[in-house]
Structure 1
Amino acid sequence: MPPESIHIKQLSSDSKNFDLQLDQLLEWESDSTLKIDQLVSNILIGIRRKGDDALIKYTREFDGRDISDIEELVVSREEMREALDSIKDIEREALTFASKRILDYHQHQKLESWSYNDADGTLLGQQITPLGRVGIYVPGGKASYPSSVLMNALPAKVAGVSEIVMTVPAPGGELSPLVLAAAAIAGVDQIFTLGGAQAIGALAYGTKTIHKVDKIVGPGNIYVATAKRMVFGHVGLDMVAGPSEILVICDGTTDPDWIAMDLFSQAEHDENAQAILVSNDADFLVRVKISIEKLLPTMDRAAIIQASLESRGAFILVESLDEAVMLINRIAPEHLELSVADPERLLPRIRNAGAIFMGRFTSEALGDYCAGPNHVLPTSSTARFSSPLGVYDFQKRSSVIMCNEDSASSLGKRASVIAKGESLTAHARSAEYRIKK
């Protein structure tokens, strides 16, 4: 493959048009057209009206499966255990190793209830309770994602969720043993081989066979993302994720082959994924381009990687690493690699990033599978206000208030004044009834 065949955008922060160029680079419009919206809406209406019968119909239509009974979509616990026994020892060890690290990390996130008595004797606090039933959507079809099973189910387990229901598409009836094995390790309670918008509808609204859940988590294609948007309010959501992203900051002294492969690691997800390299060393950017040309033909998903790099990838030359930090906070990437000599110097100034990978030896791929932190991360610059999936996504917080006679009287006097100012007479009188005469 000749070097001329790869065309990656080259940007420089000192360019007059840099701000406009960066905005255009970061723009991403999903293909959620009116046609897709209407199709998904019809599917969700079908699920609400016809339940299991609609699930059978859509599975036959979209997954190419010749089924006639809803029970054909159910995966038993025995099948999960058999899958765990059937996979290679090295695969079982890797999944078990990853699950332990993920559990250990997420144990640190668990919120606990708390309370205190204020000066007037009022008990104030917060009660933490787990969600009752959670739905996990695991993508299938083009690839299998046992890591997504672990990353979505294990934080729910740590939180104390009572029931975890998983849906995973099985086009043509094919289902990855690794996915089932991961579900067995993570303690998933139920699995249904459902995909697409119909799976989201079943989890959100419930059918005779699939009980409605309290929250849906997990990534999916545009039909899944559109369905998640439409059912929000009936159930909670983790996030509506866009294409995968990586932003690599490098000072020019990391092996360029390593950086090229780190960019590939996200570009291989799909053509809309975004891989950006920022450096203050112009010669290093050239060396990475040479590495890309050399390594791309060796990749199984070379066509996808090339399409991603050419459509949404970029090399950005900056004057300094301090300027790179400003770019980080503007881009707010899903994955951020700080491939520099002293990443800890930069870290305190980074406000917007889903996950931060520190130093030359910390590839993003480690975070995807077994480092411990969650790989379900905010995309499309939503790291400005969103966080990675965690135990806190599976816990609820309830405020706790208990007054005694004296504090009810003291608070009631002030509450009455404010309520009257809002013309809410019943509020005022409710408070006034408890004022000591």
Structure 2
Amino acid sequence: MMRRLDARKLSPTPDESQGVYRAAVPRAALDVEQALATIRPICDDVRDRGVEAVLDAGEKFDGVRPVDLRVSAAALTDALAGLDPDVRVALEESVRRLRQTCEAELEQTIVSDVAPGAAVERRIVPMQRVGLYVPGGLAPLVSTVVMNAVPAQVAGVPGIALASPPQKEFGGLPHPTILAACALLGIDEVYAAGGAQALAMFAYGAGECRAVNLITGPGNIYVAAAKRHLQSIVSIDAEAGPTEIAIIADDTADAAFVAADLISQAEHDPMAASVLITDSEALAGQVELELESQVAVAKHAERIRTSLTGQQSATVLVRDIDQAVDVANAYAAEHLEIQTADADAVAERIVNAGAIFVGSHTPVSLGDYAAGSNHVLPTAGCACHSSGLSVRAFCRNMHVVTYSADALREVGDHVVALAEAENLPSHGTAVSIRTSRDS
């Protein structure tokens, strides 16, 4: 089902490793630049016409025109009341675990006394208003509500708005499970808007929705393109593409586990990427057999098969685990599983991944829902320079500088000297006019 790529004959130097292996490992072909041509007029229309443009776009792309753009409090309350009790308990546990890790990661204000009377405070300031995007599409990603909202709440963001596409089968409201999760978390500013029009609404403001400082959340290629287009006026978390999993596995791995995990990500999207990196041809063959049998009985078999047979998915054969680590670091997967002997030691050598799942009992799907980690992660190789969503994304660092007269006098000559070196003498004067008066 999955094609095989043989990297065993590749022997790049350490300096060449990233480029050679990145070219050798499969990836989905995405043309965000082409998608920009589609979303620009949508974003411009929302900027110019506001709510009506958002509703018009929803009618065109989602096949339904909500009566109101903002979801009513009654609809949120009703959705929570109708939520399956087991799902509610699972959501509550997911929230509890993620909140615990977010609270542990939250940075504290720090004051550095650089000299007597001279203090530099690094103040942690939450974003004042954020827009959270939750896709509809092929699946109602209720877990994405949790992954976006909890770190924003822990960070202390006072204004949180959330948008999710209107659903025709639910009368123009977002999926009721998504609304229930919003109600459970106390998010009452929810909009029935999807795609580029939702992001433009956040960026420019429309009707009741005031402009935000930051937009977070995954989406399709048009959402990624809208983020790229709008980031000159609003901050974004990342340009998320189709989801991906890479698994480093040796002959100690359970082929059934490996296959199940490859399938779990393929279930998201026909463009999702599943990559197995192994030094065992025997395991590769066993996984292939498991894929055939497991996909045959999967609910979304057609979608999964399309993903696993696409150009973005493959089994990559390597000489040994050392080469597997090099390939994985070059690929920089959104999700990376380690199913090998001494998995902890292998994981220590990974420097490029959105999140690492260590050992045979730590599947990616655990992280999707209830591990306590965040599943909004960098895709398309961006894990080599970007991080997953966390409480830090919803905070800013701000320096607060306080100097006494004596402290300024003590360092004043250095400021004047550096200002003169840069041919900016008035910078120095702004100091010397004070120190000369105090002397």
**Could you state the TM-score of these two structures normalised by the residue count of structure 2?**
0.93
Superposition deviation, residue 59 in structure 1? 2.0
User: Are 1:99 and 1:185, in contact at CA under 8 Å, matched by a contact in 2?
Assistant: no
Superposition deviation, residue 21 in structure 1? 7.4
The answer for the alignment partner of 2:424 in structure 1 is 424
Determine whether 1:119 maps to 2:118. no
- Quote the Cα distance in structure 2 between the aligned partners of 1:303 and 1:276: 18
Superposition deviation, residue 266 in structure 1? 1.1
Superposition deviation, residue 430 in structure 1? 0.8
Superposition deviation, residue 375 in structure 1? 0.3
User: Are 2:51 and 2:69, in contact at CA under 8 Å, matched by a contact in 1?
Assistant: no
User: Are 1:105 and 1:372, in contact at CA under 8 Å, matched by a contact in 2?
Assistant: yes
**Which of 65, 76, 89 is residue 72 of structure 2 equivalent to?**
76
User: Are 1:413 and 1:435, in contact at CA under 8 Å, matched by a contact in 2?
Assistant: no
Moved more, 132-141 or 111-120: 111-120
Determine whether 1:88 maps to 2:87. no
* Code of the aligned partner of 1:271: P
Superposition deviation, residue 22 in structure 1? 5.2
C-alpha spacing 1:7/1:131, structure 2 compared with 1 (3 Å): closer
Moved more, 115-124 or 239-248: 115-124
Structure 1 stretches lacking a partner, 5+ long: 1-5
Give SS of 1:211's match: coil
Superposition deviation, residue 141 in structure 1? 3.0
Superposition deviation, residue 174 in structure 1? 5.3
The answer for the alignment partner of 2:214 in structure 1 is 215
Superposition deviation, residue 32 in structure 1? 3.0
Determine whether 1:136 maps to 2:132. yes
* Code of the aligned partner of 2:60: E
The answer for the alignment partner of 2:239 in structure 1 is 240
User: Are 1:111 and 1:128, in contact at CA under 8 Å, matched by a contact in 2?
Assistant: yes
User: Are 2:4 and 2:317, in contact at CA under 8 Å, matched by a contact in 1?
Assistant: no
User: Are 1:9 and 1:310, in contact at CA under 8 Å, matched by a contact in 2?
Assistant: no
The answer for the alignment partner of 2:9 in structure 1 is 14
Moved more, 106-115 or 45-54: 45-54
- Quote the Cα distance in structure 1 between the aligned partners of 2:2 and 2:343: 30
C-alpha spacing 1:339/1:50, structure 2 compared with 1 (3 Å): same
* Code of the aligned partner of 2:196: A
Give SS of 2:111's match: strand
The answer for the alignment partner of 2:403 in structure 1 is 403
- What is the percentage of aligned positions where both structures have the same residue? 35
- Quote the Cα distance in structure 2 between the aligned partners of 1:314 and 1:33: 26
* Code of the aligned partner of 1:298: V
- Quote the Cα distance in structure 2 between the aligned partners of 1:33 and 1:398: 34
Give SS of 1:189's match: coil
- For residues 255-274 of structure 1, the aligned pairs below 5 Å read 255-274=254-273
| Cα deviation digits, residues 272-302 of structure 1 (max 9, x gap) | 2111111222111111111111111111222
What is the number of equivalent residue pairs in this alignment? 428
- Quote the Cα distance in structure 1 between the aligned partners of 2:367 and 2:154: 19
Structure 2 stretches lacking a partner, 5+ long: none
- Quote the Cα distance in structure 2 between the aligned partners of 1:124 and 1:50: 45
- Quote the Cα distance in structure 1 between the aligned partners of 2:381 and 2:294: 29
- Quote the Cα distance in structure 2 between the aligned partners of 1:428 and 1:347: 51
User: Are 1:410 and 1:435, in contact at CA under 8 Å, matched by a contact in 2?
Assistant: no
The answer for the alignment partner of 1:299 in structure 2 is 298
- For residues 358-373 of structure 1, the aligned pairs below 5 Å read 358-373=358-373
User: Are 1:134 and 1:215, in contact at CA under 8 Å, matched by a contact in 2?
Assistant: yes
C-alpha spacing 1:215/1:21, structure 2 compared with 1 (3 Å): closer
CA RMSD of aligned residues (A): 1.9
Determine whether 1:151 maps to 2:147. yes
- For residues 173-192 of structure 1, the aligned pairs below 5 Å read 173=172, 175-192=174-191
Determine whether 1:164 maps to 2:165. no
Give SS of 1:253's match: coil
Give SS of 1:345's match: helix
- Quote the Cα distance in structure 2 between the aligned partners of 1:272 and 1:54: 29
- For residues 304-319 of structure 1, the aligned pairs below 5 Å read 304-311=303-310, 312-319=312-319
| Cα deviation digits, residues 357-412 of structure 1 (max 9, x gap) | 11111111000001111000111111111111000001111012111112212322
Moved more, 42-51 or 25-34: 25-34
